[in-house]
Amino acid sequence: MFQIRVHGRGGQGVVTAAEMLSIAAFEEGRHAQAFPSFGSERTGAPVVAFCRISDREIRSREPIVEADAVIIQDPTLLHQVPVFAGLKPDGYVLINSQHKIGELGIDEFAASRRVERFCSLPATELGVRHIGRPIPNMPLLAGFAALSGVIRLESVISAINSRFKGQVASGNISAAEEAYRLVKEASC
């Protein structure tokens, strides 16, 4: 079982990201479970959503404490919310930022980890450029696909097509494709 936490703020599509991740995994014939942090948070408040991916039926309903990966949609959370809590020693970290991982003030934490599994991605900029809105979640999912290999880019695209239509879909797909390429090419 692979467990992912998505951190962000209300309005950034955090819950949608987890749901879409679960759809992408479902498209690959796997079991997936996505659920939000069940808050009454308004726009701008810290939000977390969870996704589990497995080849077997997923029964557990506990919030994800031991994460295999964290996706951080808003870098301002890095020093406000314990986003890395319970991250497994070999866990993946994907941060939405224009800055390199080394510039985000998490060196101390990253030092004890497999740094090659840490990556940043200017997902908000990709969203603005391709979708016309600062929504980073789909580029981040594609970036996550590139970083972890847990899901395929085609599955992310397929999930996008199942949820969105027209320009929103095509914009998200081109943003996702560029994000995937950026992460694959990046030295992070």
Partner 1 sequence: MLKQIEGSKAVAEAVSLCRPEVICAYPISPQTHIVEALGEMVKSGRLAPCEYINVESEFAAMSVSIGASAAGARAYTATASQGLLFMTEAVYNASGLGLPIVMTVANRAIGAPINIWNDHSDSLSQRDSGWMQLFAENNQEAVDLHIQAFRLAEELSMPIMVCMDGYILTHAFERVDIPVQEQVDAYLPSFEPRQVLDPSEPISIGAMVGPEAFMEVKYLAHAKQLQAIERIPQLASEFRNIFGRDSGGLVRTYRADDAETMVVAMGSVIGTIKDTVDEMRDEGHRIGVLTIVSYRPFPLEQVRGALLHCRRFLVLEKSLAVGMGGILATDVRMAVTGAGLKGYTAIAGLGGRPIFKSQLHQLFRQAEKDELPPVTFLDLDRDAVNRQLERERQTRRSGPVAENMLHDKGIVSAKFG
Q: Which residues bind partner 1 (CB under 8 A)?
A: 18-19, 22-23, 25-27, 31-40, 46, 48, 58-63, 65, 81, 85
Q: Which of 82, 155, 148, 150 is nearest to 119 (CA)?
A: 148
Cβ proximity to partner 1: between 23 and 156 the closer is: 23
Cβ proximity to partner 1: between 63 and 132 the closer is: 63
Q: Which of 7, 17, 22 is nearest to 135 (CA)?
A: 17
- The nearest distance, CB 94 to partner 1, in angstroms, is 18
* CA 154/CA 140 separation, integer angstroms: 14
The upper half-sphere exposure of residue 83, i.e. CA atoms within 13 Å in the direction of its Cβ, equals 27
Cβ proximity to partner 1: between 81 and 186 the closer is: 81
- The nearest distance, CB 117 to partner 1, in angstroms, is 22
Cβ proximity to partner 1: between 49 and 142 the closer is: 49
- The nearest distance, CB 57 to partner 1, in angstroms, is 8
* CA 120/CA 140 separation, integer angstroms: 9
- The nearest distance, CB 31 to partner 1, in angstroms, is 6
* CA 80/CA 87 separation, integer angstroms: 16
Cross-strand bridge partners of residue 49: 6, 36
